[in-house]
Amino acid sequence: MFAVNPTTPVKSNIAGDRRLRSITGAGDNGMNRKRTYVRLRERGSVRAAISREDKAVESSVPVQRKEVNKSLISPSPSSSSSGGIDVRAVVTIRKKMKEKLTEKVEDQWEFFVNGIGRGIQIQLISEELDPVTKSGKRVESCVRGWLPKPSNNLHIVEYAANFTVPSDFGCPGAVLVTNLHGKEFYLLEIVIHGFDKGPIFFLANTWIHSRKDNPESRIIFRNQAYLPSQTPRGLKDLRREDLLSIRGNGKGERKPHDRIYDYDVYNDLGNPEKDDLARPVIGGEKRPYPRRCRTGRPPSKSDTHSETRIEKPHPVYVPRDETFEEIKQNTFSAGRLKALLHNLIPSLAATLSNSDIPFSCFTDIDKLYTDGFYLKDDEQNEGRRFPIGGDFMKQVLSVKERLFKYEVPAIIRRDRFAWLRDNEFARQCLAGVNPVNIELLKEFPILSKLDPEVYGPPESAITKELIEQEINGMSVEKAIKEKRLFLLDFHDILLPFVDKINSLPGRKSYASRTVLFCTNRDVLKPIAIELSLPPSPSSPRNKRVYTHGHDATTHWIWKLAKAHVCSNDAGVHQLVNHWLKTHACMEPYIIATHRQLSSMHPIYMLLHPHMRYTLEINALARQSLINGGGIIEASFSPGKYALELSSAAYKSWRFDLEALPADLLRRGMAVEDPTMPSGVKLVIEDYPYATDGLLIWSAIKEWVESYVEHYYSEPNSVTTDNELQAWWDEIKNKGHPDKKNEPWWPKLNTKEDLSGILTSMIWVASGQHAAINFGQYPFGGYVPNRPTLMRKLIPQENSHDYEKFMLNPQNTFLSSLPTQLQATKVMAVQDTLSTHSADEEYLGQVNPLHAHWTNDHEILESLNKFSSRLQEIEEIINRRNKDIRLKNRSGAGVPPYELLLPSSGPGVTGRGIPNSISI
């Protein structure tokens, strides 16, 4: 192999190189961070862009790692007569797993260009200050050829650059990388060999842009964390410039190679050029909302407040390292293909007619899992023209395989009729996909907080006498005192939207309240359902109450009432608890973390694995799921008012109540108990989401507290951390500006404050999202169990519909559910959203490619302790699922509660806690 070994710096081709020398040269005794890397974007001035370890290499692409010395310190200097120290930088690059012929030809050209030293330029920056330049000492070289020992993986290429550094050079703290090729490449890491204390790691896992796209180079720091006040003098300017580059100037349209993080309102969901797809701006005083990542696309001609739409297959901008890796792209695209084909080809299969018809019998639903769908000839031809189908689509069509055959959902796999029973309806309030809306009934009568001038009397139509009749004569006062009455309340959130929803074709909805009772055997059961419509002149109190009854007619009416409650639950789950409270609320935390915390900041390093893929999946959702006319509008009750409803729910959102113990206390599902590890005791002990969730919460809290204690042991270290204070200030004032004046925002003065804030963020990104996301298909894949919309109101006596209901109640029930096309659409989406990618990174696990994310032994020991605790929790949960006393997670036909089991394999497993919101 060939390697250049200059004793004098090679002439740099980097734009603004002189300025770079003045700010990068200064020594940095505390290099970079976890798995961080840096790249530069803003033109005209040197900007170090923190490239993020986000992009883990696929699990199927193993890379042999060199053993790192655990103590990275400066090498012992050679004598001045020695002429310097010979060191080598090993540069590891990942190639695409699947390449086109033209790309393979380009690779050969890149190999040649790199081999002769004209492809990748490396500058090694010392921590030590040069007394003349007042910047870090540096040497330059170019990669040449290949290492004598080739990589053990076809997709990994290793190059080397040799340097001779002065004997007093000190420890290298940063590497400056310039890509002289015409296209970007993916840098895994750079390891410096030759210093006395062993190899020095510069983790990258980042895209290095081409110099033709951005003349500035990328900075990659070594794996050392520093608080701002501890930053070595040689890195202070570089640290500051790095953050400036990431923030951008808030102007212009972002380019695919950019890594600019900034904020904007949700003004890109609709298409004002088409009246039926125009949507209001979400975010601001009228419709408050968290902010999303700014793309800078030009305004629409019809509405200057809205951004122009960009449709599939063209991507929505996210900072370059936020995009999916190759394995993730393949996983998501295969599932997305199902959903999009359902959307694009209305007459999807031979079993569906050209008109969108309801299910005629339960056998029609069963066929989704037993027979699947065959595409017609004309649909095959249309499928071949589908822009993202690719080889997968062609292969399926050529052999006429059953592309749309669904797996049997977990909810009916063991017991096909479980969904019919009241105890299963109640069980799913505690152990289903949306176990976060049930609350303790604390007072009676049940009152609305809506304006009575608009929405009528605030009192619920559920009376004391009715409840006492359903609980065998026990007084309501006693039941409330003994904490045995519970409420599923969707009244206030939905009633303002009911008239709008019911004006949409094929949509009929109520605002519901459901009262549940905990029996002497600790079994929860629904006892009364109130379904409300907005008041009208003829019906000022437009509320009806239903109970399970004791005859065939009331039983079928009760089933319809439960279906309407499930539809309410599905909409609130998807638009509020899932999208708003995890995806949308997490996005400002991620943007602020990149903008205000240097990649060498310890809190950046802590949060980094919990930010992976989130901006990309949110951008895809804005493009295909929550957009005007998208899957959510087409498949869920609120329709075109979906995001307006989500905005209405945000008005009551509070950061301080997103912590699991605080949320349980707010809902009355727990009481304070200092003797418990989490500080709370559950009102219902057999509450799987809460019991398992508190184990995960406590483990996260312990890990975060040990991490924060390690870096913030000095008094006032939190308040004097200017980056940290700017981060928290920006989250409140720019990320959630419609809430910035709320008094409930936690203070950030102590390490306890910091630990609490971070624990909540990590819980939301990991455990909370897992609990309400990965059960979507297992519970929602069977439409009668969890209809996402209802198409008919409950028939009333003396009406024509009531006569039809009496003659064929099953037909009335099925025709009230989503149609066959609506159902298969949403099933495809739920299947996709419930799928783990093969490159998923789970809570407490460290990707082998990130083994050297830090050189701090104490932190690594704390992480190992956290990982071990999660393994113990998995064993505890498995034992609970076999405990016959726990009726909500075991029993005949009862699926075990596994949504908070930490680990999982790929696919729709109904278990596993990824580090981040990655789907």
Instruction: Catalogue the active-site residues.
Output: 578, 583, 769, 773, 919
Element containing residue 531 per DSSP (H, E): strand 524-532
Angle at 596 between CA 595 and CA 597, to 5 degrees: 110
445 upstream amide cis, omega within 30 of 0:
yes
Nearest to 440 by CA among 493, 475, 484: 484
Tokens of 353: 């007619």
Owner of token pair 């924060």: 708
Q: CA torsion, points 667, 673, 674, 677, in degrees to nearest 10?
A: -80
Q: Do 262 and 250 meet the contact criterion of CB atoms below 8 Å apart?
A: yes
Nearest to 787 by CA among 571, 534, 604, 526: 571
Element containing residue 140 per DSSP (H, E): strand 136-142
HSE of 889, CA atoms in CB hemisphere, 13 A: 24
Give the full edge-to-edge strand order of the sheet including 524-532: 438-440, 485-489, 511-518, 524-532, 543-546
Q: Do 271 and 309 meet the contact criterion of CB atoms below 8 Å apart?
A: yes
DSSP 308-356: PP--TTSPPP--GGGSPPHHHHHHHHHHHHHHHHHHH-SS-STTS-SS-
Q: Do 587 and 579 meet the contact criterion of CB atoms below 8 Å apart?
A: no
CA separation for the pair 259, 49 (Å, rounded): 7
CA separation for the pair 891, 886 (Å, rounded): 8
Q: What is the DSSP letter of 758?
A: H
Tokens of 483: 């904490």
CA separation for the pair 31, 34 (Å, rounded): 10
CA separation for the pair 162, 117 (Å, rounded): 11
Q: CA torsion, points 106, 112, 117, 120, in degrees to nearest 10?
A: 20
Q: Where are the alpha helices (DSSP H) in 449-607?
A: 452-455, 464-470, 476-481, 491-502, 552-572, 585-596, 602-607
CA separation for the pair 38, 85 (Å, rounded): 26
CA separation for the pair 31, 173 (Å, rounded): 5
Residue 451: CB partners within 8 Å, gap ≥ 6? none
